[in-house]
């Protein structure tokens, strides 16, 4: 595990710079394609308004950015932000046909936007990668308009009896086998494992959102709690 915030930033940045062209495929394999189902459920719950302004923090290869762009329509706009130029490059190819998207290089810990700018701010599988979860949540709060919605989709701690052991065994025994198939990706697998194990459970994460000032914090676990959505509002 990285020992300082700087070490974590450097490690994470390197992982995503290296994995960018393989990220989408690995994501499908690692999650047994479940991530697509989770994303759809989250979008359904969000009921994004047409014409809205959205920000997708840690957008990576822009999967969630694209879903948001479709939801806000031509009269709306989505900004995707990520600190990996290589991940953004893949995202730029995928969003080339979207006039209502722009992707910017930037740090989730210090968002390059004015206060009260967006109607929606999302972060998908990004929060566990930043060196200070609370600081990133505070930044999302700052750039949201009053009444705006924040949504986080992230790995979580499984809650179903027996599932936790299975999940740990999956990481310990099954994932390394995938890693052998994709030999170049061992470092990335190992980071996924470490960051997922160390991430707060859904109750603890809900407290972090509330502590940043968000209200009506709700959460929902998916696939036995392997991942979870947190949704909350900035007070009017
Ligand atoms: C697991 S990927 C998720 C990508 C995308 N949101 C998705 O749902 O597939 C995590 C992304 O977070 C980005 N990231 C990690 N730390 C960051 C930071 N401090 N600032 C901006 N982006 C960051 C990485 O470069 C990577 O693209």
What are phi and psi for residue 53, nearest 5 degrees? -105, 120
33 known member of a binding site? no
Predicted-complex ipTM score: 0.99
Cα 1 versus chain centre, distance:
20
Neighbours of 146 (CB within 10 A): 9
Residues in the chain: 236
d(CA 23, CA 103): 17
Does 223 have pLDDT greater than 80?
Answer: yes
The predicted pLDDT at position 228 comes to 96
Tell me the domains of the chain and their CATH numbers. Answer: 5-233 (3.40.50.150)
Beta strands in the chain (DSSP E): 53-57, 77-82, 101-105, 118-124, 144-155, 215-222, 227-233
Answer yes or no: is the C-beta of 83 below 6 A from any ligand 1 atom.
yes
Q: Which atom of ligand 1 is nearest to the CA of 27?
A: 9
82 known member of a binding site? yes
Tokens of 74: 């031509």
108 known member of a binding site? yes
Per the prediction, the chain carries an average pLDDT of: 91
pLDDT tier at 26 (50, 70, 90 boundaries)? confident
d(CA 45, CA 118): 18
Percentage of the chain surpassing pLDDT 70? 92
Sheet (strand 101-105) strand order: 101-105, 77-82, 53-57, 118-124, 144-155, 227-233, 215-222
pLDDT tier at 221 (50, 70, 90 boundaries)? very high
Residue 55 bridge partners (DSSP): 79, 121
pLDDT in tens, 183-205: 566 777 778 778 888 899 999 99
The predicted pLDDT at position 147 comes to 98
Does 49 have pLDDT greater than 80?
Answer: yes
Does 60 have pLDDT greater than 70?
Answer: yes
Q: What is the mean pLDDT of residues 38-60?
A: 98
pLDDT in tens, 77-112: 999 999 999 999 999 999 999 999 999 999 999 999
Residue 129 Cα, ligand 1 centroid: separation in angstroms? 7
The predicted pLDDT at position 166 comes to 73
The predicted pLDDT at position 183 comes to 58
Answer yes or no: is the C-beta of 127 below 6 A from any ligand 1 atom.
no
The predicted pLDDT at position 184 comes to 65
pLDDT tier at 182 (50, 70, 90 boundaries)? low
Residue carrying structure tokens 């990335």: 188
d(CA 103, CA 148): 21
Does 59 have pLDDT greater than 80?
Answer: yes
Q: 198: exposed, middle or buried (C-beta count within 10 Å: 0-12, 13-18, 19+)?
A: exposed
Kindly state the DSSP code that residue 129 receives in the 8-state scheme.
G
């Amino acid at each position: 595990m990285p020992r300082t915030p700087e070490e974590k930033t450097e490690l994470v940045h390197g992982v995503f710079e290296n994995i960018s062209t393989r990220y989408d495929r690995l994501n499908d394999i690692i999650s047994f394609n479940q991530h697509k189902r989770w994303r759809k459920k989250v979008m359904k719950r969000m009921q994004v308004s047409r014409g809205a302004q959205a920000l997708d923090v840690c957008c990576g290869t822009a999967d969630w950015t694209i879903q948001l762009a479709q939801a806000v329509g031509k009269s709306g706009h989505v900004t995707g932000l990520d600190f990996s130029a290589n991940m953004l490059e893949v995202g730029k190819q995928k969003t080339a046909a979207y006039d209502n998207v722009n992707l910017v290089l930037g740090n989730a810990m210090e968002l390059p936007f004015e206060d009260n700018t967006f109607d929606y701010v999302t972060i998908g599988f990004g929060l566990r990668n930043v060196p200070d979860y609370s600081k990133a949540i505070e930044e999302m709060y700052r750039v949201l308009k009053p009444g705006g919605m924040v949504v986080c989709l992230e790995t979580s701690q499984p809650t179903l009896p027996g599932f936790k052991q299975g999940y740990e065994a999956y990481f310990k025994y099954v994932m390394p086998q995938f890693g052998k198939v994709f030999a170049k990706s061992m470092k990335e697998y190992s980071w996924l494992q470490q960051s997922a194990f160390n991430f707060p459970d859904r109750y603890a994460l809900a407290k972090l959102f509330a502590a940043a000032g968000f209200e009506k914090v709700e959460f929902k676990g998916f696939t036995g709690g392997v991942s979870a959505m947190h949704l909350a509002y900035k007070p009017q």
